[in-house]
Structure 1
Amino acid sequence: MPTPLQPIGVFDSGYGGLTILRELVGKLPQYDYVYLGDNARTPYGTRSFETVYQYTLECVQHLFDRGCRLVILACNTASAKALRNIQQLDLPKMDGPNRRVLGVIRPTTEVIGTYSRTGQVGVLGTRGTVTSESYVVEIEKFFPELRVFQEACPMWVPLVENGEYDNPGADYFVRQHIDRLLGKSPGIDTILLACTHYPLLLGKIRQYTPIGTTILSQGRIVADSLADYLLRHPELEVECSKHGQRAFLTTDSPADFDRQATVFYGEPIQSMHLAL
């Protein structure tokens, strides 16, 4: 009998986490992955902490039920609003083998200070991520000398998901929030894109930031962090199946998901519907 798959689970409220998955596959192609996008209930960025926590927990539990031992919350809002509760309250109560849930905030905050020369960094994110203060708190742990300035960009995710990220109409909203962020301090020399949708706006973001500004997307940082994590936890690594297989799930229309996902993932995919 074939050994059941034990893929690495990757969760996002929609499509943005596919930019993380793309980097994970590029760095660690031997592993099996299953991606779950909760497109039927997106966006998470404007929802309450309790709602994001409940939605995220449901999706994490489904990925565990599919055999995952390790789940990556490839969503800044879920990482900010749900990760701590899931790690501290839910995982200890779950039956079965050892399971882990990781987010995208800590890997980024562990390294962000190494990119800044001025000691001043900017964070662009959804309203939920910014309001949570998660980046401010976590950066303080690793780089207490850094000054952190945040800017919520509520229109950026809709622009990306409606295919407007490369059109002239996006320029107003991109420039507006870049100007607001940089207006908080002229010394900002490093900007973190604290939403997995934002890499699709990278071309326009660069147009409105000063030459020499470092702009960080999270995908490669998270991939490097996962590779290191698996090296440090061989007891978990050995349980992750390695056939190079990919599976994609969406809580909304698979046809719509497949059409949009190609933009984020970089190649065609075929998803299945999941009813929660």
Structure 2
Amino acid sequence: MPDYQPIGVFDSGYGGLTVLKSIVHQLPQYDYVYLGDNARTPYGTRSFDTVYQYTLECVQHLFAMGCRLVILACNTASAKALRNIQQLDLPRIAPDRRVLGVIRPTTEVVGNYSKSGHIGILATRGTVTSESYVVEIDKFFPGLHVYQEACPMWVPLVENGEHGAPGADYFVRQHLDRLLAKSPEIDTLLLACTHYPLLLPKIRQFAPEGIALLSQGEIVADSLKNYLHRHPEIDEQCSRGRTLRFFTTDSPDDFERQAGLFWDTPVRAERLKL
């Protein structure tokens, strides 16, 4: 299928489906391929080198499927792998292709939502440790005060279908309390993991009234739309067949079952052997 050049969306697991959902809603005309590296998730606790190697391998598989543009819909991969892939690998293996992440689009706008100039970041341990949000936000909003909190239990809660259960209350309240204790002026919370939108009802339940809660899906979709408008040479290479294909490095049956938490309609998944 030489004319099949979908936009690739990659995540270490299922959370990237929340980003893909927003992208498809805004840009339904394109073909899309989603790849979840479910066999090797979670990425949040792994080293920089491991995340980089895993991410690059999956990006190369998406390139082999015809993708000219790949979105890393994973904060950990964006924090630990994106820069190396863009600066070291693409010039060598695919100079005509592009890989984008979710951190830069988010940090370009996050400061616009805060009136107090104090924001909180809820993320995986890997994303927090990387300091990527702190560094990138400072480029666009140098006066913004940024506070971070790692929430290692939140992804397992979501992927085990416990995000709406009473047992999730303790872990959501615990990390919100820890983060908000760092500054009474925090008025904006960024959910810097693509799994976390599924915890929004719980977060709203325990977050103080008036605090803005930001998910990344719509932000990334807006940024991609703008990027394609600014780069017609990339836009023209993306095929427009309105198709969706889903791949997983683990069990397709498990993926299809879990994807129901993130996607409105049933999905059919294919196995990608690494």
Q: Report the counterpart of residue 190 of structure 1 in structure 2.
A: 188
Q: Report the counterpart of residue 116 of structure 2 in structure 1.
A: 118
Q: State the aligned residue count.
A: 274
Q: Report the counterpart of residue 32 of structure 1 in structure 2.
A: 31
State the shift of 1:94 in Å: 1.0
Q: Report the counterpart of residue 101 of structure 2 in structure 1.
A: 103
SS in 2 for 1:40: coil
Distance 2:3 2:238 in 1: 10
Matches within 5 A, 1:13-92: 13-92=12-91
Is the contact between residue 13 and residue 43 of structure 1 (CA under 8 Å) also seen in structure 2?
yes
Distance 2:266 2:214 in 1: 26
SS in 2 for 1:264: coil
Query: What RMSD over aligned residues (CA atoms) do the two structures have, in Å?
Result: 0.8
Question: 4+ residue runs of structure 1 moved beyond 4 angstroms?
Answer: none
Q: Report the counterpart of residue 234 of structure 1 in structure 2.
A: 232
TM-score after normalising by structure 1: 0.98
Is the contact between residue 21 and residue 265 of structure 1 (CA under 8 Å) also seen in structure 2?
no
> Does the C-alpha gap of structure 1 residues 141 and 19 become closer, same or farther in structure 2, counting only changes over 3 Å?
same
Give the gaps of 5 or more residues in structure 1: none
State the shift of 1:4 in Å: 2.8
Distance 1:265 1:60 in 2: 23
SS in 1 for 2:234: helix
Instruction: Pick from 163, 176, 179 the counterpart of residue 178 of structure 1.
Output: 176
Give the letter for the 2:255 counterpart. F
Give the letter for the 2:60 counterpart. Q
State the shift of 1:88 in Å: 0.4
SS in 2 for 1:41: coil
For 1:5-41, what per-residue CA distance to the aligned partner results, in whole angstroms no more than 9, with x for missing partners?
A: 1000000000000000000000000000000000000
Is the contact between residue 75 and residue 195 of structure 1 (CA under 8 Å) also seen in structure 2?
yes
Distance 1:204 1:16 in 2: 17
Is the contact between residue 121 and residue 191 of structure 1 (CA under 8 Å) also seen in structure 2?
yes
SS in 1 for 2:262: helix
Is the contact between residue 29 and residue 244 of structure 1 (CA under 8 Å) also seen in structure 2?
yes
Query: Is 1:128 the equivalent of 2:126?
Result: yes
Is the contact between residue 5 and residue 241 of structure 1 (CA under 8 Å) also seen in structure 2?
yes
Distance 1:217 1:119 in 2: 18
State the shift of 1:266 in Å: 2.0
